[in-house]
Structure 1
């Protein structure tokens, strides 16, 4: 049940963020739907390839495709004056998507009895894979690779699930809220990982 709820939350959050990015880049309606769908399902598709789940498993997610399409349609029809506040909400829905999908991906790998390293990779790819594809298709530098802390929170979720620190529903929901809050704090206060710039000669 927890898995289903997290999948639903993540699907809606990432479908919306993909649609908004497409509208910011002034894509047409087809582009908006494509970017929304790719953002919602891209991370899961990459994860499935890496942990040995047939990619065809994606096509069995009929309900989630419908949820994603409804979410994208709602955003497309949203009044412009409300979408102006998107920058504030955009990062927030992205944080929710990252958290929900990182936990869902880690649970998926853990249920298949994969080692800790695979659980962490599944968490990072599911949590940030859709966002990476979205940013690349929109011609943007992926959030994950910038110095602002992003993928670290997916790694944290993977470690906690891989070590079986969080196993029951309420622990997983608490972890979901924790990861979302940490991600929100990291972009609000501009927490950064160390980075090194090479001087231009």
Structure 2
């Protein structure tokens, strides 16, 4: 049950996220649907490639594709005055998608009896892969590559599931809520990972 629920939540959240970004970049209708679908399923495709699962397995998720299309259509038809508030809620949708798909990816790796390292990688790629593809296609710097804390939460989620700290559906839902909350708080508080720059600062005369 948790697998299905989290799959639906993640699909809707990332489909909406991709559609909104496409409209921000003034893509046409086809571009909105394309970016929404790619965002919703890109992470799963990348994960499958790296852990040896045929990418064609994605086409078996007919219901998820239908859910994604409905979500994208709903967003496209939203009144413009409601979409103006996307800057406030956009990162919340992104956090939901990250958390739901990170858990889904980790569970997928566990079901295949893969090692903990693979579970963490599967969580990160499933949780952030779609967003990376979305940002690249929209010519934006991917969140996961910034000094902002983003994929770290997916990695922690994968580690928690990989070591077997959660097992029941209830514990998975709690993990989902905690991961989402941590992502939202890290964005609001502007938490950053350490970074270095090689750019030379201009000296003032």
| TM-score relative to the length of structure 1 | 0.99
Q: Counterparts in 2 of 1:101-112, with a 5 A limit?
A: 101-112=101-112
**What do residues 147-196 of structure 1 show as CA deviations (whole Å, max 9, x unaligned)?**
11000000010000000001110110000000000000010010000011
Name the counterpart of 2:179.
179
Which deviations, in whole Å up to 9, do the C-alpha atoms of 1:61-82 show, x marking residues without a partner? 0000000000000000000000
How much has 1:200 moved relative to structure 2?
A: 2.4
How far, CA to CA, are the matches of 2:141 and 2:189 in structure 1? 20
Counterpart in 2 of 1:39?
39
Gapped runs of 5+ residues in structure 2? none
Corresponding residue for residue 125 of structure 1: 125
The within-5 A match list for 1:5-44 is 5-44=5-44
Determine whether 1:145 maps to 2:134. no
Deviation at 1:197, TM superposition (A): 1.1
| Count of residues in Structure 1 that have an aligned counterpart in Structure 2 | 201
Q: Which contiguous aligned blocks of 4+ residues in structure 1 show a shift greater than 4 angstroms?
A: none
1:67-86 alignment, distance < 5 Å: 67-86=67-86
Render the CA deviation track for 1:68-114: whole Å, top value 9, x for unaligned: 00000000000000000001111000000000000000000011100
- Give the Cα–Cα distance (whole angstroms) in 2 for the partners of residues 136 and 147 of structure 1: 17
Matches of 1:2 and 1:156 in 2, distance apart? 19
Query: Residues of 1 paired with 2:17 and 2:78: CA distance?
Result: 13
The structure number with the bigger radius of gyration is 2
Q: What are the ranges of 5 or more consecutive residues in structure 1 without an aligned counterpart? A: none
TM-score (normalised: structure 2) = 0.97
Deviations 1:39-82 (A, max 9, x none): 00000001011111111111110000000000000000000000
- Equivalent residue of 1:194, what SS? coil
**For each residue in 1:5-29, what CA deviation from the matched residue of structure 2 results, as whole angstroms up to 9, or x when unmatched?**
0000000000000000000000000
Q: 2: CA distance between counterparts of 1:60 and 1:123?
A: 21
Q: CA deviation at 1:199?
A: 3.0
> 3-state SS of the aligned residue for 2:196?
coil
**1:161 matched to 2:197:** no
Please list the CA deviations of residues 115-169 of structure 1 after superposition, one character each: whole Å capped at 9, or x if unmatched: 0000000000000000000000000000111111000000010000000001110
Distance in 2 (alpha carbons) for counterparts of 1:142 and 1:56: 26
The alignment's C-alpha RMSD in Å is: 0.7
The residue number in structure 2 matching 1:191 is: 191
Partner in structure 2 of residue 87 of structure 1: 87
